[in-house]
Chain A
Amino acid sequence: MKLARDTWLIFQYEVVLLVRNPVSIAITLIQPITYLLLFTPFLKSVMGVSSYSNAFQIYVPSLFAAMGVYSGLFAGFSLLGAMRQGVVTRHRVTPVSRVSLLLGRVLMYVLLVVFQCVVVTVAAFAFGLRVQPGNFLFALVLLSLMVALSVSIGFDLALLVPNENSLGTLVNSASNGLALLAGVLIPLSVAPLWIQHVADWNPFAWGTNGMRSIFQGHIGASVVWEACLVMGLVATVTLVLSSRLFSREIA
C-alpha cells in the first residue's frame, strides 16, 4: 500500500516535470519518425515485401523495440543527474519507500516510451499501417515490460559506473549490441544461424519477435506468450536486483 502510494507520488512528480518540458519530448520523436519514413522503404525492397502495409507491420514493432532499448538504457544518465543534484539524497532521508524512488522513475519511462510509440503508430497509420486496436494495446503491454527491463538495466549500469564518460561508452556499446541482436533493423529471421542462436539469449529479441507477431495478427502464436513470459520474468528479476543495488548505500 505504502509502496504503491509512494511509487505513484514519485511517478507523478517526474511526469509533471517531463510534461512541463514538451520540447524535450518532441526532440525524442525526431529519430524514430526519421527511421520510420526513410528506413521502411529500404526494408520493403530488401525483404521483398509486397506492400507498405506489410512493411510497416514488420518495421513498426522493431522500432518499438529500438525505442524501448535505447530510451531505457540511456535513462541511467538522468538517474546520475538526479544523484549529482542531490535529489536522490534528499528523497532518501525521508521515510519514502526506497523501492518507490526507483519504480516511480521506471514507470515514468514506460509512459514516455508508450507515448512515443503511439505517435509513431499514428504516423505509420497515415502511410498505410493497419493493426487491430486490441492487438495494438497488447503490443503496448509487452513493450512496457521491455521498457521496464531496459530502464532497470540502464539504472544498474549507472549505479555501477557512476561516471558520465565511461557510462556513455558502455551504454552505447551495450544498447547497439542488444538492439542489433534483437533484430530491430532487419528481422532475425534473415540473419545467419549463429546470430539467431546468440539472439536466443537476448530477452529483447524475444520481445521484438513477440510484438511483430502481434502486429501481424498472430496473437495466439507461441512466440507471443513466450515473449510475455521471458520479458515478465527477466524484467522482474532485474528490477529486484536494481532496487537492491539502489537501496545499498550511495555515498
Chain B
Amino acid sequence: MSHSRKFQDCSHVIFDLSWAMGLMIEVSGLRKSFRSRRGRKATAVDAVRGVDFSVERAEIFGFLGPNGAGKSTTLRMLATLLRPDGGDAMIAGADLRRDPGQVRKRIGFVAQSSGTYGHSTGRRDLVLEARMYGVPKSAAQALADGVIAAFQLGDFADRQINTYSGGQRRRLDVALGVIHSPQVIFLDEPTAGLDPPSRARMWQEVRRLRDEGMTIFLTTHYLDEADTLCDRISIIDSGLIVAEGTPSDLKREISGDVVVVDLAAADTAGVPEPATVLQASKVLTEQPYVESCETIEHTLRLYVDSAATAIPQIMRALSGKGIEPGAIETRRPSLDDVFLAKTGHTLETG
C-alpha cells in the first residue's frame, strides 16, 4: 500500500519535473482528418498526419508552411477547439486530451479572424475576456487598463472596433489573448494582411511577450517572419513536419551557395521554350559541382559549394548548348531553399 503510493507520488514528481525543466508544449503523434463530401462521395482528408514537436519556456516557436499544410488545424487542436483523432499533447503541464479545461486556463489563443463584434469597443471586450477567466469585475477593469497601456491601445480603446485599422485590430486581438497572463499563447498568422509598419510593430509586441517569460507558438507562411522572429521553427507540409530547428541551423544544412539562373532573355523579356528550360536543367544537373538543381518556372535554382567558382563553369556549360541565360544571381540559402530541399516545391508556388 505504502509502496504503491510512493510510486504514485514519484510519478507525479517526474511529471511536474519535465514541465518545470521548461517544456511548455510537448506533442506526439497528433493527427486529425476531416470528412469532406465531393458530390456523393465522402472522402477523408488527412489534415494533420501525426506531428511531434516540443516547445521550451519563453521561446518563439513557429510553424512555417503553405496554406492548407495543417498549421491552423494543429493550432486549433492545441487550443482545445478541435478534438484530435490521435496522439497526445501536454500544454503548460496540462493534458490536452484528459483535461482540456485546465489547458484553457493556461493558454491564450488568437485566431486568424479577429473574434470581436465590430460594434463593441476594445475596452468592453477586454473586460469581458478577463471576466470569462473568472476575474471579478473591478480586477478585470484593472487588467484591461494594464493591457491597454502595454499594447498602446489608449487612443482607440473606447471607440467602436469597426473604426480600427488592421494593425490596431490585430493588437487588440493579441491583447485579448494575453489579458489573463497565460503561460502559452497561440497566434494563428499574426501578421497576415498587415502593412510593413504594422508587421514590425506586431513583431516587437511578440518579442516583448517572450521577454516577459511567455511561450509563443505561432503559424506563418511568411519566410521573413519565420526567419527573423522565431527562435525555432518547424516546417510543415501536407500535414507532416519535414524539418525542425533554428532558422540558422536549418539554413546551414543547405551547404554552400545558391545560384539562380533566369533563362528569360533580359532584352526581349521573352519567356524561353519549355524544352530549353528542360535542356538547361539536364545539362546543369550533370555538372559535378552542382549538388542539386530545382526548376521553378523559367528559373533554375542551383545548390553549389562556391558560387564564385561555379558561375563561370555554369556559363560555359550553358553556352556549350547554345543557351543564353538572361540573368544569374547568387545568394546565401534562405528558408525557402530549405523548404524546397525538404518538400520539392517552394513556399510561394505552394
Binding site for B on A (CB under 8 A): 6, 9, 13, 16-17, 20-21, 82, 85-87, 89-96, 249, 251
For B79, list chain A residues within 8 Å (CB): 93
At the interface, yes or no: B152 with Cβ under 8 Å from chain A? Answer: no
Closest chain B CB from A248 CB (angstroms)? 10
CB pair B116–A90 under 8 Å, yes or no, is yes
CB pair B81–A94 under 8 Å, yes or no, is no
For A16, list chain B residues within 8 Å (CB): 124
For A91, list chain B residues within 8 Å (CB): 132
At the interface, yes or no: B104 with Cβ under 8 Å from chain A? Answer: yes
Stretch at the interface among B105-113, B240-248, B329-337: B105-113
Binding site for A on B (CB under 8 A): 34, 76, 79-83, 101, 104-105, 107-109, 111, 113-120, 124, 128-129, 131-134, 176
For B119, list chain A residues within 8 Å (CB): 17, 20-21
Option from B101, B108, B109, B114 in Cβ contact (under 8 Å) with A85? B114
Closest chain B CB from A27 CB (angstroms)? 15
For B76, list chain A residues within 8 Å (CB): 251
Most buried by B among A21, A91, A93, A249: A93
CB pair B120–A17 under 8 Å, yes or no, is yes
CB pair A89–B81 under 8 Å, yes or no, is yes
CB pair A94–B104 under 8 Å, yes or no, is yes
Given A93-B81, A95-B134, answer yes or no on A87-B116 (Cβ-Cβ < 8 Å).
yes
CB pair A9–B115 under 8 Å, yes or no, is no
Given A95-B104, A249-B83, answer yes or no on A13-B114 (Cβ-Cβ < 8 Å).
no
CB pair B117–A85 under 8 Å, yes or no, is yes
Closest chain A CB from B147 CB (angstroms)? 15
For A90, list chain B residues within 8 Å (CB): 109, 111, 115-116, 129, 176
Q: List 30 A-B contacts (CB under 8 A).
A: A9-B131, A9-B132, A13-B124, A17-B117, A17-B119, A17-B120, A85-B114, A85-B118, A86-B116, A87-B115, A87-B116, A89-B81, A89-B111, A89-B113, A90-B109, A90-B129, A91-B132, A92-B81, A93-B79, A93-B80, A93-B81, A93-B104, A93-B109, A95-B105, A95-B133, A95-B134, A96-B132, A249-B83, A251-B34, A251-B82
For A87, list chain B residues within 8 Å (CB): 115-117
Chain B residue at smallest Cβ distance from A81:
B117
For B114, list chain A residues within 8 Å (CB): 85-86
| Given contact pairs A85-B118, A87-B115, A91-B132, a sample of 13 additional A-B residue pairs in the complex whose CB atoms are under 8 Å apart | A9-B128, A17-B117, A21-B119, A85-B114, A86-B111, A86-B113, A87-B117, A89-B81, A90-B111, A95-B132, A95-B134, A96-B132, A249-B81
* 4 closest Cβ pairs, A-B complex: A90-B115, A86-B115, A86-B113, A94-B132
Cα of A86 to Cα of B128 in the assembled complex, Å? 15
Cα of A20 to Cα of B132 in the assembled complex, Å? 21
For A96, list chain B residues within 8 Å (CB): 132
For B111, list chain A residues within 8 Å (CB): 86, 89-90
Cα of A249 to Cα of B79 in the assembled complex, Å? 12
For A89, list chain B residues within 8 Å (CB): 81, 111, 113, 115
Closest chain B CB from A29 CB (angstroms)? 20
For A85, list chain B residues within 8 Å (CB): 113-118
For B82, list chain A residues within 8 Å (CB): 249, 251
For A20, list chain B residues within 8 Å (CB): 119
Closest chain A CB from B235 CB (angstroms)? 25
Chain A residue at smallest Cβ distance from B108:
A93
Closest chain A CB from B219 CB (angstroms)? 15
Cα of A249 to Cα of B82 in the assembled complex, Å? 6
Most buried by A among B79, B116, B131, B132: B132
For B34, list chain A residues within 8 Å (CB): 251
For A21, list chain B residues within 8 Å (CB): 119
Closest chain B CB from A151 CB (angstroms)? 18
For A95, list chain B residues within 8 Å (CB): 101, 104-105, 132-134
For A92, list chain B residues within 8 Å (CB): 80-81
Cα of A96 to Cα of B109 in the assembled complex, Å? 14
